[in-house]
Structure 1
Amino acid sequence: MNQKDIEAFYQSLEERRIVLDKLKEIQDTVGLSKEDRMRYEASLKVYRDQLAMLEYARQQGRAEGLAKAKACLEIARNMKAAGIAPELIAQITGLDFETIERL
């Protein structure tokens, strides 16, 4: 998903939240028919499922990002141990000089 898709997804969730809040308000004040209650519960399930999927995707993305960062640091550490110039290490790995010097 790109940033635009994520923003659209969040907007969709926000719109659903507004609708669900309104349905809850209606239910609390007047009560819902059996059909409306079923629709509300189905919509609530979809909403919760989407939130769970989004959180899972965030966790996966975070884990993948950390793994890539650790691999990049390990490569830079090995390059430094092999005597490669810090400028070249920075160019290849994208790390800054301070990080390379701390390795």
Structure 2
Amino acid sequence: MEKLQRLPFKARKAVFEKLEQIVDIAAMSKEDRMKYEASLKVYRDQLVTIEYARQQGFAEGEAEERLKNARGMKAAGIAPDLIAQITGLPLETVEGL
């Protein structure tokens, strides 16, 4: 309890709110607790799916940006091997632009 008293007010409030949630869950019937846990699993799965989609979108955007930059460098007359080194694209890809 002494450690809890050393926490700032907001942190203590968060701890007590979490404890209230735990008590509420523990007081549920077995059937209600199973429904709660199932809905919590669905919620967490959705969060993971959204994060994965966000990361995939970022990776695709990054790849498009590298291609755009490589096209610009090639148009400026920069050597393909240097473009490949700078952008991280395969030399074959740069030569095919």
Q: Same fold (TM over 0.5)?
A: yes
TM-score, normalisation: structure 1:
0.65
Q: CA deviation at 1:35?
A: 0.2
Q: Which runs of 5+ in 2 are unaligned?
A: 1-27
Q: Does 1:74 align with 2:68?
A: yes
- Tell me the distance in 1 between the aligned counterparts of 2:59 and 2:78: 25
Corresponding pairs, count:
70
Taking only the aligned residue pairs, the percentage that are identical comes to 36
User: Which residue is 1:37 aligned to?
Assistant: 31
- Tell me the distance in 1 between the aligned counterparts of 2:31 and 2:42: 16
- Tell me the distance in 1 between the aligned counterparts of 2:59 and 2:65: 10
Compare relative contact order (CA 8 Å, sep 6+) and give the higher one, 1 or 2.
1
User: Which residue is 1:9 aligned to?
Assistant: none
- Tell me the distance in 1 between the aligned counterparts of 2:83 and 2:71: 9
User: Which residue is 2:54 aligned to?
Assistant: 60
- Tell me the distance in 2 between the aligned counterparts of 1:73 and 1:88: 14
Q: CA deviation at 1:102?
A: 1.1
Q: CA deviation at 1:77?
A: 0.4
TM-score, normalisation: structure 2:
0.69
Q: Does 1:97 align with 2:91?
A: yes
- Structure 2 residue matching 1:39: 3-state secondary structure: helix
Runs of 4+ in 1 over 2 A off after TM superposition: none
- Tell me the distance in 2 between the aligned counterparts of 1:87 and 1:68: 20
When the two chains are superposed, the root-mean-square deviation of aligned CA atoms in Å is 1.0
Q: CA deviation at 1:87?
A: 1.1
